Amino acid sequence: MHEFTIGDVVREHRRGRGHVTALVDGDRRLTYAELDQRTNRLAHALLDAGAGPGERVLWLGVNSFRIIELLVACAKVGAMLCPANWRQSSDELRFVLDDLRPAVVVWEAGPLDAALEPLREATTGKWVCHNADDGYEDWLSSHPDSDPGCEVSEESPVLVLYTAAFDGRPHGAMLAQRALIAHSMMLGVVRQIEEGFVCLDSGPLFHVGTMMFALATLNFGGTNVVLPTFEPELACRLIERERCQAAMLFPAMIAQLVEANADGRFDLSSLRFAAGDEPWNSMITIDESPWGRSFAGYGQTEVAGMLTYHALGLEGTGTSGRPSLFAQLRIVDPVDGELPDGEVGEIVARGPHVFSGYFNRPELTAAKLRGGWHHTGDLGRREKDGTISFLGPKLRMIKSGGENIYPAEVERALNSHPGVSAAAVIGRPDPEWGQNVVAIVVPAECAEITEAELIEHVRTVVASYKKPKEVILAEEIPRRGFVPDYDELDDRYGGGGYPGA
């Protein structure tokens, strides 16, 4: 009686918000009543195709409202949806198909055709083309719209997201229904989501950063406006037309929106977002929620999104705020002993929105979840005031002259210099020291900075042994979303030899 699944969320919205628009995608608009009906049909379709409890459904294509409805349909029958990264190579897609062995693959005809054709023949699942006339819609509408009425546990995984290949191959993190709902509620607290919330799904739904906002919007009975891929003009048009209040926007995307709206022809005032530079601030409404006042925090796919929120530690010295109110967090040594405040160790977590393990990786799962705590693989420190500082992945800790150096600390020191626009730190193998700290720095516009000046600046902010041996001035830092692309930086500038890797 206390169970509450994503199927239940939609059933409830059908009754309480049946007329509210749940999904917008191009010309397509679905109310919650329609979403509940369509996901009933899809649920029957999945069961007929063998995609029952524990089975997988794979999505291969760009963003679509169908990712959300397939997720709800999976929730109703106890299956799992995996929206795959469609930007992957044919080899990578083959890996996912072999790994996941999906009962149903919903794919998009178009650019991926050539890559998918050989894969299709090598798999046993049912393939449904979502953008062909005789495809997905026919499949859906040939099934009844009655509730399938399956007993589904809220602890059943419903979403699989493949995460970064920390050991050379990707792993599918499984997130339970309850995990997604708990995370949505916490995000809703910090973002102060209210009735009538409208979110532009402007990032990729195969990434937890966009998915977590799409799911919170669903949970709160709001409207998800799905953008197939990011196009600044279309994004502006949709924000204006749908009165979007939120969107997933990296700094580079904001710059493109500002450029697309340089003449002010789009009214973006419905968008409530963290303050940035002019003219962005004058186009939008500054988000005064805790999330808007102090953006984001520390997170990863394995906790369904955010584990800590800046907004929960505003007065603190830690760089990542405090944990979600649905999570416990500890800093532990290599044998899982809790470390005192101020010491660096691995961040471990437990609670309702921690994941349920990696699909098809029993040994890795057992290792990551040993002792009932999820081992994030990231290093952090609890400051004296109880707030958390995230220091970077264990795998990328630099060891130089026997000392542990955390790139994030050195990067923060560099970024505190007014002449620095962006900075990233890598370790380069060195026969004498093990590794040397190398900083790649993009100077601020019109700033004249020298290598010696920056090294000296870092020395005054953090311990001397952490200062870069070399500073490389560059025109850009390659990025993956909010964070630097360290693999690419290692390739370009000779990084490597990380002792934890």
Binding site for a copy of itself (CB under 8 A): 1-4, 8-9, 11-12, 15-19, 155, 176, 178-179, 181, 185-186, 188-189, 192-195, 219-221, 290, 311-314, 322-323, 325-330, 350-352, 354, 369, 372-374, 382, 385-388
CB nearer a copy of itself, residue 98 or residue 155: 155
Sign of CA dihedral 474, 318, 253, 491: positive
In the complex, least distance from residue 144 CB atom to a copy of itself, rounded to whole angstroms: 19
Sheet-wide strand order for 171-176:
126-129, 104-107, 56-60, 80-83, 157-163, 171-176
CB nearer a copy of itself, residue 209 or residue 351: 351
Taking CA 300 as the corner, what is the angle to CA 288 and CA 277, rounded to the nearest 5 degrees?
35
In the complex, least distance from residue 344 CB atom to a copy of itself, rounded to whole angstroms: 16
Long-range contacts of 392-396 (CB under 8 A, 24+ apart): 393/166, 393/500, 394/346, 394/500, 395/166, 395/498, 395/500, 395/501, 396/427, 396/486, 396/498, 396/500, 396/501
What CA–CA distance (Å, rounded) separates 309 from 185?
Answer: 13
CB nearer a copy of itself, residue 85 or residue 192: 192
What CA–CA distance (Å, rounded) separates 201 from 211?
Answer: 8
In the complex, least distance from residue 195 CB atom to a copy of itself, rounded to whole angstroms: 6
In the complex, least distance from residue 293 CB atom to a copy of itself, rounded to whole angstroms: 10
What CA–CA distance (Å, rounded) separates 111 from 335?
Answer: 48
In the complex, least distance from residue 399 CB atom to a copy of itself, rounded to whole angstroms: 28
CB nearer a copy of itself, residue 72 or residue 413: 72
CB nearer a copy of itself, residue 37 or residue 256: 37
> Residues 86, 62: contact at Cβ < 8 Å?
yes
CB nearer a copy of itself, residue 385 or residue 470: 385
In the complex, least distance from residue 173 CB atom to a copy of itself, rounded to whole angstroms: 14
Q: Which helix (H) or strand (E) element contains residue 35?
A: helix 32-48
CB nearer a copy of itself, residue 216 or residue 438: 216
Three-state secondary-structure class, residue 356: coil
Q: What is the DSSP string of 92-132?
A: HHHHHHHHH--SEEEE--STTHHHHHHHHHT--SEEEETTS
Nearest to 381 by CA among 438, 298, 450: 298
Q: How many CA atoms lie within 13 A of 468 on its CB side?
A: 30
CB nearer a copy of itself, residue 369 or residue 455: 369
DSSP designation for 449: -
In the complex, least distance from residue 346 CB atom to a copy of itself, rounded to whole angstroms: 16
Nearest to 29 by CA among 197, 250, 225, 292: 225
Nearest to 251 by CA among 275, 267, 233: 275
CB nearer a copy of itself, residue 36 or residue 411: 36
What CA–CA distance (Å, rounded) separates 497 from 500?
Answer: 9
In the complex, least distance from residue 17 CB atom to a copy of itself, rounded to whole angstroms: 6
In the complex, least distance from residue 313 CB atom to a copy of itself, rounded to whole angstroms: 8
